[in-house]
Amino acid sequence: MLVATFFDSKLEAEIINNGFVVIPGFIPQSEINCLLGLFNSHYNGKSVGFWNSISDLPMDLGLGISEKIKAITNPHFDKLLKDWEFPIAQFIVKNPNKDSASTLHRDFSIYDEDKIQYRQVWVPLVDLNADNGALYVVPKSHKLFTNSRPMFAKWPYEHLIPYLEKEFHLIYAKAGDLILYLEKTLHGSFANISSYPRPAFTGGIIHKKANILYAKYIEERGEVESYEVDSAFYYGKEFQNPIVDKKYPLIKTEKYKVKEITSLDLDKFFHAH
């Protein structure tokens, strides 16, 4: 499997076992201040629950911000990971809004997860607390919820959220701490009920030889079409087009299968782990 692994074998074992790691003080405060300055120079204070620098700014501007974030942060990843690539970095902001909660879920699949493991970067630019929308994960959930999730497919386990709530692990990270979690790790965040935005920078860490895919869910057929694409496909929002451009080759078509998981399965799994 292609994966950008930690140099530190203990960190690698931790993320494989728990599905996430937290590395305190990954970005020093002086560089967090630079990132905050970059963020504040572009953030427009929209009142919606979320804002991010790729989706809510013109593409060229969003990509320019990505390069500036990476110029600051890449030297730190160089010391942490082997064979890694950080294609796109972005600022995301949870605005103070009662509708700003992100319910429990797993991220969409943008790689062949049988061959490639994707790891999500999440670094807050301010300290997280009980009011501004703390991140939470479900430790070890990647070992039970093993299905991929094609683009636009609803996460099929929302009915299990009440049973999973007791497994939530809240992460009150400080500004500059690195949270790195696997693509299949269940996660979410609470609403920001403070008076201030809660900015972070995020992006995916992948193996430098990994190929990106677009897994398109065709609901009426219950199928998934997988296309070979590139980063431009996502930051250019081409996934929103109803028809995939012919320049992106269709790799395979298969039935979308979802593993049945019951509340009893949850009890057995978390009791054993």
- What percent of the chain has pLDDT above 90? 90
At 189, give phi and psi (nearest 5°): -155, 150
CB 222 within 8 A of CB 257: no
CB 137 within 8 A of CB 186: yes
* Rounded Cα–Cα distance for residues 8 and 21 (Å): 12
Structural domain count, the chain: 1
- 124 inside domain: yes
Q: What pLDDT, on a 0 to 100 scale, did the predictor assign at position 166?
A: 95
- 261 inside domain: no
What three-state secondary structure class fits 150?
coil
| Arithmetic mean of pLDDT over the chain | 94
CB 95 within 8 A of CB 51: yes
Residue 106 sits in a domain whose CATH number is: 2.60.120.620
CB 67 within 8 A of CB 169: no
Q: What pLDDT, on a 0 to 100 scale, did the predictor assign at position 98?
A: 82
Task: Check whether 12 has a pLDDT greater than 80.
Answer: yes
- 144 inside domain: yes
Q: What pLDDT, on a 0 to 100 scale, did the predictor assign at position 55?
A: 86
Q: Are strands 223-228 and 20-23 parallel, antiparallel or unpaired?
A: unpaired
Query: Which structural domain, as residue segments, surrounds residue 23?
Result: 9-207
Tell me the angle at which helices 29-40 and 59-80 cross, rounded to the nearest 10 degrees: 170
Mean pLDDT of 87-93: 94
Q: What pLDDT, on a 0 to 100 scale, did the predictor assign at position 47?
A: 60
What three-state secondary structure class fits 65?
helix
Place of tokens 């009662």: 98
Task: Check whether 100 has a pLDDT greater than 80.
Answer: yes
Q: What pLDDT, on a 0 to 100 scale, did the predictor assign at position 46?
A: 66
Mean pLDDT of 203-230: 95
Mean pLDDT of 168-189: 97
Q: How confident is the model at residue 67 (pLDDT cuts 50, 70, 90)?
A: very high
- 130 inside domain: yes
* Rounded Cα–Cα distance for residues 181 and 86 (Å): 14
- 228 inside domain: no
Q: What pLDDT, on a 0 to 100 scale, did the predictor assign at position 71?
A: 97
Task: Check whether 6 has a pLDDT greater than 70.
Answer: yes
- 31 inside domain: yes
* Rounded Cα–Cα distance for residues 85 and 202 (Å): 13
Q: What pLDDT, on a 0 to 100 scale, did the predictor assign at position 28?
A: 98
- What are the tens digits of pLDDT across the range 218-260? 999 999 999 999 988 998 889 999 999 999 999 999 999 999 9
Mean pLDDT of 82-102: 92
- 4 inside domain: no
Q: How confident is the model at residue 50 (pLDDT cuts 50, 70, 90)?
A: confident
- What are the tens digits of pLDDT across the range 120-148? 999 999 999 999 999 999 999 999 999 99
Structure tokens at 85: 């690539």
